[in-house]
Amino acid sequence: MNIKIESIHFDADQKLLDFINKKFGKLEQYYDRIMNIDVTLKLENSGQVRDKVVEVKVDVPGELIVCKGINKSFEAAVDEVVDVAKRQLIRHKQKARSF
């Protein structure tokens, strides 16, 4: 499994990159045939507060799972996205087994 992290218009610190690698590395225990995970980190200007946006594309055989999370911190947005991706991977695994 290959995890690629891209931060747009800013440089992510090593602590955040390690956190993301740790969280998305755990997805492999739910579905072991994950090929690639592309994580995009963005800052969104909506009014006074700058929201943090995390978009994830999980490449599995036969499907591309896309998740997006918006929160006040990157860590909270990553947690949201990991939960959504975990549910979708479990659903994909069950669907693949039923064939």
Summarised one tens digit per residue, pLDDT across range 6-65 is 999 889 999 999 999 999 999 999 999 999 999 999 998 766 667 899 999 999 998 999
- Tell me the whole-structure pTM to 2 decimals: 0.90
The one-character DSSP state at 55 is E
Can you give the pLDDT at residue 23? 96
What are the beta bridge partners of residue 45?
50
Cβ-proximal residues to 9 (8 Å cutoff; 6+ apart), any chain: 42, 43
CATH assignment at residue 80: 3.30.160.100
Number of domain units in the chain: 1
Can you give the pLDDT at residue 52? 93
Average pLDDT in the 67-89 region?
A: 95
Query: What 3-state DSSP class applies to 87?
Result: helix
The one-character DSSP state at 8 is S
Work out the angle at residue 25's Cα, subtended by the Cα atoms of residues 20 and 30, and round it to the nearest 5 degrees.
Answer: 130
CA distances in angstroms from 28 to 44, 53, 69, 87, listed in the order given: 29, 23, 20, 13
Can you give the pLDDT at residue 49? 67
- Provide the residue range defining the domain that includes 28: 2-97
pLDDT at 99 over 80: no
Task: Give the tokens for residue 84.
Answer: 């959504």
